[in-house]
Amino acid sequence: MVLPFKHEPFTDFNDETNRKEFEAALELVESELGKDYPLVINGEKVFTDDKLTSINPGNKEQVVGHVSQATKAHVDRAMESALEAFKTWRKMPAAARADVLFKAAAIVRRRKHEFSAWLVYDAGKPWSQADGDTAEGIDFLEYYGRQMLDIAGGKRLENRPNEHNAYFYQAMGPGVVIPPWNFAFAIVCGTAVAPIVAGNPVLLKPSEHTPVIAYKLVEVLEEAGLPKGVLNFIPGDPLEIGDYLVDHKDTHFVNFTGSRATGVRIMERAAKVQPGQKHLKRVVAEMGGKDTIIVDSDADLDLAADAIVNSAFGFSGQKCSACSRAIIHKDVYDEVLEKAIALTKELTIGDPAMENVYMAAVSNQKQFDKIRDYIEVGKNEGELVYGGETDDSKGYYVHPTIFKDVDPNARIMQEEIFGPVVAFAKAEDFDELLEIANNTEYGLTGAVISNNREHLEQARYDFHVGNLYFNRGCTAAIVGYQPFGGFKMSGTDSKAGGPDYLNHFLEAKVVSETY
């Protein structure tokens, strides 16, 4: 009997014992940096000469690992092994498939700080953010295992005399999983294990920025008993194998999370039927955000400032859910801005491998350059009232940055920056707060800080985002509690960590028997 789902608790780093244990995990992982990692195809470890090097974003000199890169020929081999594995994995009882996930969750839980320490080095995550990422990965394993058990029996249909009707779900076939680097354990884990537990073998192409922690997941699933060929690990240059994976005639689905540009490209390519392809491909594409917190005239202003600062600067704003727009009622604008600046001044920034800091380096040079450029753009679009400093001499450090009096149509109000930059703007009344909140092409998360029940109810239906929060920040959805996915150009609204998620990777079948 499986216990009810409960989300994995976060570690309290004020506790001396927890801090010591985390430091020990960092030491362990540091002693393992710089190793070589293979592809995994049909359970076989394949080392290639062409390797990508993963570095610590907080300390560019430090090599986290050298990871073999797959070619198109490797993709073909991986697909063949996935097709072979599909023959048996799809018929494995749902409970047995779920057990692999439950066992993997138990393994990761026992080695939780070690996984988080890998995230500190591979993704540059501060301790608490790394801990949250690992906890979310555990949650996905526990939640999707249970969800599979729940739907394994199918749905009830009506029966007539001498006729028995059955409605059940079956796997679709092998698919491709393409995650981003920003939740380098949780999203990799969730987007891979959901189709797997549903019975579909997977080709996993991790982000080129965080391949080592992705390999650690592959090891765990193997240890948990996943049969060979069900999870093929094929890191590689997206320019070489990205389109090839999506276009492959045997790809049945693409489970993608990443930028709008890549998601749209995948959608378009996957729609084209290739020679020899005998099915339509499904695409789950969870993409970017330009997320807004609106603050009403009647609101808890300390809560508002806290929500804005933590949603904008947690993990340096590198969350699709991050608050990059704070739209404030004119009566409380100055006060909220002042409080937000005061809170931001208290944030600590540094190398996350050295101490438990609030913010660390951003992920990579491309990210750093992009954010720095947007800060320059912002200087012409509003008034820089805090931060703006950047330094990539040792790692990719960007300080938390606040602009005020920005036109809601300005570039820094419309384009996803994916860094620690938040723009403030003023609105006349609640209608205008909502109008500005909705005036982007994205629709992922948003929050309303208000004591006015009528206004909250108005926002419930008129604030067009997939994940809307009242009187809290707009980040940190929890599996099973806030299923996650966006509207508009934020994606296909897949609601990861929610009760319908596995259906994206299943076909419903009806069998009707006459007696």
CB contact at 8 A, 505 and 255: yes
Which member of 320, 412, 423, 489 binds ligand A1AUG (CB under 6 A)?
Answer: 320
Candidate ranges 15-23, 234-242, 347-355, 469-477; the one touching ligand A1AUG (CB under 6 A): 469-477
Q: Find how far residue 508's CA is from the centre of its chain.
A: 27
**Interatomic CA distance for residues 282 and 176, integer angstroms:** 10
Calpha distance 237→214 (Å, rounded): 15
For residue 451, the minimal CB distance to ligand NAD (Å) is 30
Q: Annotate 343-385 with three-state secondary structure.
A: HHHCCCECCCCCCCCCECCCCCHHHHHHHHHHHHHHHHHCEEE
Identify what 476 binds: ligand A1AUG, ligand NAD, none; CB under 5 to 8 Å per kind.
ligand A1AUG
Contact status: 246 vs ligand NAD (CB under 6 A): yes
Task: Name which position in 116, 129, 367, 475 contacts ligand A1AUG (CB under 6 A).
Answer: 475
* 200 contacts ligand A1AUG (rule: CB under 6 A): no
Distance of CA 479 to the CA centre of its chain: 12
Pairwise CA distance, residues 43 & 488, whole Å = 39
| Touching ligand A1AUG, residues 412-451 (CB under 6 A) | none
DSSP type of residue 414:
H
**From residue 190 to residue 229, what is the string marking binding to ligand NAD with x (rule CB under 6 A)?**
---------------x-xx---------------------
Shortest distance in whole angstroms from residue 502 CB to ligand NAD: 17
Q: Does 181 bind ligand A1AUG (CB under 6 A)?
A: no
Angle between helical axes of 333-345 and 301-313 (0-180°, round to 10): 50
Closest CB 466 distance from ligand NAD, rounded Å: 9
| Window 253-282: residues binding ligand NAD (CB under 6 A) | 257-259, 262, 265-266
Instruction: Please name the helix (run of DSSP H) or strand (run of DSSP E) that holds residue 105, with its range, or none.
Output: helix 94-110
φ/ψ of residue 13, rounded to 5: -80, 5
**CA neighbours within 13 Å on the CB side: how many for 7?**
20
> Any contact of residue 321 with ligand A1AUG (CB under 6 A)?
yes
Write down the least CB distance from residue 183 to ligand A1AUG, Å.
6
Active site residues: 286, 320
| Distance of alpha carbon 40 from alpha carbon 23, whole angstroms | 31
Q: How far is the CB of 444 from ligand NAD (least distance, A)?
A: 6
For tokens 């003023």, name the residue. Answer: 426
Residue 191 in the binding site for ligand A1AUG (CB under 6 A) = no
CA 157 to centroid of chain Cα atoms: 36
State the residues that interact with ligand A1AUG by CB under 6 A: 182-183, 319-321, 475-477, 484
State the residues that interact with ligand NAD by CB under 6 A: 178-183, 187, 205, 207-208, 238, 242-243, 246, 257-259, 262, 265-266, 286-289, 320, 416, 418, 444, 484, 486, 490-491
